[in-house]
Amino acid sequence: MWLSVALAAAVGLAFAGASLASGGFGWRDVAGVAVLVAAASVAEAFPVPIEGVAVGAMSLATIFLVAGATIYGWAAGAVAGFLAMVLVEVGRRRPFSRIAFNCGVYVLAGMSAGGAAADLHSGTLPQLVLGAIAAAIAFYLVNITLLAAVVSRSRGLPFVPSFRNYVHLTLVPFTIMASLAVILVVLWDRSPFVAVVLVGPLLATAFYQRWIHGALDRLREFDRLKDEFIAIVSHELRTPLTSVYGAAVTLRQQAIDEEQRSALLDIVSTEAARLARLLDDVLWVSRLDSGRAKAFITKVEPLPLATTVVEATRTHLPPALSVELRHDPAPPAVAADPDKLRQVLVNLIENAVKYSGEGRIEVGLHRRNGKMRFSVRDQGPGIPPNQRERIFEKFYRLDPNMTLGVGGTGLGLYICRELVEAMEGQIWVDSVPGEGTTFSFELPIAASS
Ligand code: ADP
């Protein structure tokens, strides 16, 4: 398909070249075509997304190419179509067949437009307008017929529904572009310099459309995040609630011994703690997103704080895990917000517990490069190199379908990074897949007073 379009266009271009070379084309005409080709290339390079009308982005190049073909004839139309497309497509490094097809479409469309307007461009004003309208329609029909043909061919669909679909999606923007092409032709006929007045409204329309499209894209993204948030949080709420409910129902039965009773109470307290952590995460995210998580920096003694967190972890550590705190002899105070610092440590240690399952967890507190470095090292599965940035994104999880049976919201590390950065620190991860992971963050040392 692409080959026949390209061949037909090549033959057309050859005739067009011959026709132009045979004379009648002055330097003013060459300059006029060059300006229109430049405008069409810019329009082609920066297509305008049209909200709710077209699926992809529309190029306004049609306006300039139709005007060029109406004013300067079919041969100029073919050459202008070719140049406008080839400049942009080669710049985009598209595959050859695609470049050949797209250029072919514009050459054939440009020729048809010029042909449809023939003999009218030297006539009266109404004739000129009619010529431009005929040119626009011809350009449009050739363009969408070929596009629909190639799309229906490649997807194995019948041609007529594809064509109808294209018309449905592009008719409104096309009508507007056709009117603009007519205006351009009429102005250009007066003087190409007068036509410059179209630049302002065209640029304004293009920028405004792009801006609207960007704003709506952001809204759609918010909406998607909200849905994801609700889905994840409700799923994460349900799991511990089911366990607590199950344990409570069993506890009500009289016939359980002391050992079972204490195991069930363990479940209730661990799952309740999990619920509390989840709600903490959600609250932190809401505070961070609404800018209410300002850090109140004071002087914080890191050793007592880390010791409390490590001791608290020990109380509910699975039997296959151990946790240790290693630190410099007398770690200096850091400039931090104590609540936020505690939250970051809790999140990192909880992750180490959750994802490593067995082995040793080492919490470190060392002075490095004039800062205080906190680290949490585990002997878990590790994190592949290409995921080490992404895990800090909101909702990002390595195992979203929980094939390994470990639940989570993907919020913990996002919160850690935001909190550490709010305290003027930095957080990062080092990991050897299969051997373990070390999360580290550095905070400034408090000025001694
Ligand atoms: P959550 O734990 O709720 O899924 P986090 O933001 O805390 O969310 O972590 C994001 C992802 O990073 C986790 O889903 C997990 O895949 C990975 N991850 C975090 N900590 C570790 C760790 N210590 N070892 C291995 N993978 C980890």
Sign of the torsion angle spanned by Cα atoms 254, 258, 264, 268: positive
Mean pLDDT in the chain?
90
Residue nearest to atom 2 of ligand 1 (CA): 408
**What local confidence, expressed as pLDDT, does residue 295 receive?**
87
Tokens of 325: 């705190």
Instruction: Tell me the residue type at 388.
Output: R
Q: Can you give the pLDDT at residue 213?
A: 86
Say what the pLDDT of residue 395 is. 86
Is there an atom of ligand 1 within 6 Å of 425 CB? no
Nearest ligand 1 atom, CA 380? 24
Q: Which atom of ligand 1 is nearest to the CA of 352?
A: 23
Give me ligand 1 centre to Cα 190, in Å: 68
Residue segments in the chain with a per-residue pLDDT below the cut of 70: 51-57, 119-122, 402-405, 449
- Please tell me the chain's helix, strand, coil percentages from 3-state DSSP, rounded to the nearest 5: 65, 10, 25
Q: What pLDDT, on the 0 to 100 scale, is given for residue 65?
A: 95
pTM score above 0.75: no
pLDDT of residue 120: 63
Residue 402: per-residue pLDDT: 66
C-beta 436 within 6 A of ligand 1: no
User: Which helix (DSSP H) or strand (DSSP E) does residue 436 occupy?
Assistant: strand 436-444
DSSP string, 355-390: HH-SEEEEEEEEEETTEEEEEEEE-SS---GGGTTG
